[in-house]
Amino acid sequence: MHAFILAGGFATRLWPLTEKRAKPLLPLAGKPIITHLVEKIPAEIPITVSTNAVFKEGFHEWKGTVQRENIGILIEETTHENEKLGALGAVRQWIENDQIDEDVLLIAGDNYLAFSITEFLASAHPNTPLLAAYDIGDRERAKAFGTVILADDEKTVAAFEEKPADPQSTLISTGCSIIPAQTLNTLVAFAKEHPDNVGGIFEEFLRKQITVECFTFSEPWFDIGSFEAYLEATRELVGENVLLGTGALCEESICEGSIVIGDNSHVHGSTLENVVLFEDCHVEDCILRNCILDNSCRLRGVDLSGKMLREKTELTQK
């Protein structure tokens, strides 16, 4: 088996945090999102991370921080969204160029998965695609996602719904799956016509009467595609705590909710509620609620709520 992590999107909904940084490299509870994923993949499985030319340097730097030898970085030579191969197109190119002929563990690099990938792999049957689905437990909430409908055996996928008005299921399709070697030709052919439609490959399998099975889980899962999802994932992982990075300080301050203070960031005389500070930030005499500050921000005497601040932002209330 070979793991392939999709990390080539430009993530415009999380700008300015992703102007110079790929979304999977955003810090989540003290380490990059993609590191959480890599740590769950069994050590013997080689990993290829697919990204674009804009984020090439960032991923090579990240690779140097991971205690794992069998990671390769695949660079798609694109610098704008309209030049991209598409997520499934990138998978197809890798399969063809590297002549991949083994099962593929396919993961979206902006997902946080709390379930055991080892258990997920162990549940797979030979030659059968397997999709991980999160049980959101609420049909009203399921309306915002693509849902998975199971057959009577509660294992085999019967159908999919895309953001249904009246969901038949509370199972949410996630960005984690196993594509068996025997089905790679089907994926390649489908990707030629639908390079952006990763989820569509499973519908294509069903159309071709290829059985698709489902691994269901209720442990936390987040598709970190928005400011709100980012803060929600942070709250889940950090809880009602303050997480201090190396060299970080928080002095004479009131902290409520989930607080992450990155390496060498300092907070003094402030009130923080559900706040994430990246590295080397300095905050003094501020009130911050539901905010994310990129590296090297300097704030003094300001009151902010629901903001994402770009790197090296300086705000001072006179």
The CATH number covering residue 176 comes to 3.90.550.10
Q: Same domain for 113 and 177?
A: yes
Q: Which two tokens stand for residue 161?
A: 């719904």
Last residue of a domain, one of 206, 228, 250: 228
Across the range 198-218, mean pLDDT stands at: 97
| Structural domain boundaries enclosing 266 | 240-316
Question: Is residue 148 included in any domain, yes or no?
Answer: yes
Q: Same domain for 212 and 309?
A: no
d(CA 309, CA 318): 19
Q: Same domain for 61 and 189?
A: yes
What is the β-pairing status of strands 27-28 and 31-32? Answer: antiparallel
Q: Same domain for 129 and 275?
A: no
Q: Same domain for 12 and 114?
A: yes
pLDDT interval class at 20 (50, 70, 90): confident
**pTM, entire model:** 0.94
**Mean pLDDT taken over the chain:** 95
Q: Same domain for 124 and 9?
A: yes
d(CA 255, CA 242): 7
- pLDDT surpassing 80 at residue 274: yes
List for the chain the helix, strand, coil content (%; round to 5). Answer: 25, 35, 40
Question: Is residue 34 included in any domain, yes or no?
Answer: yes
The count of C-alpha atoms lying within 13 angstroms of the C-alpha of 253, restricted to the half-sphere facing its C-beta, is: 23
- Own/partner pairs for 42-46, CB < 8 Å, 24+ apart? 42/117, 42/118, 42/121, 43/68, 43/70, 45/1, 45/2, 45/3, 45/70, 45/105, 46/2, 46/3, 46/70, 46/71, 46/72
pLDDT interval class at 76 (50, 70, 90): confident
Confidence at residue 79, expressed as pLDDT on a 0 to 100 scale:
57
- Enclosing H/E stretch for 268: strand 266-268
Q: Same domain for 75 and 193?
A: yes
Q: Same domain for 200 and 246?
A: no
Q: Same domain for 213 and 274?
A: no
Confidence at residue 318, expressed as pLDDT on a 0 to 100 scale:
64
Q: Same domain for 224 and 247?
A: no
Task: Give whole-number Cα distances, 37 to 5, 28, 34, in Å.
Answer: 9, 11, 5
Amino acid at 190: F
Q: Same domain for 223 and 308?
A: no
Q: Same domain for 56 and 198?
A: yes
Q: How many residues are listed for the chain in this entry?
A: 318
d(CA 157, CA 202): 9
Question: Is residue 160 included in any domain, yes or no?
Answer: yes
Per-residue model confidence as pLDDT tens digits over 104-141: 999 999 999 999 999 999 999 999 999 999 999 999 99
Domain count, the chain: 2
Last residue of a domain, one of 198, 228, 258: 228
Residue scoring higher pLDDT (86 or 50): 50
- pLDDT surpassing 90 at residue 23: yes
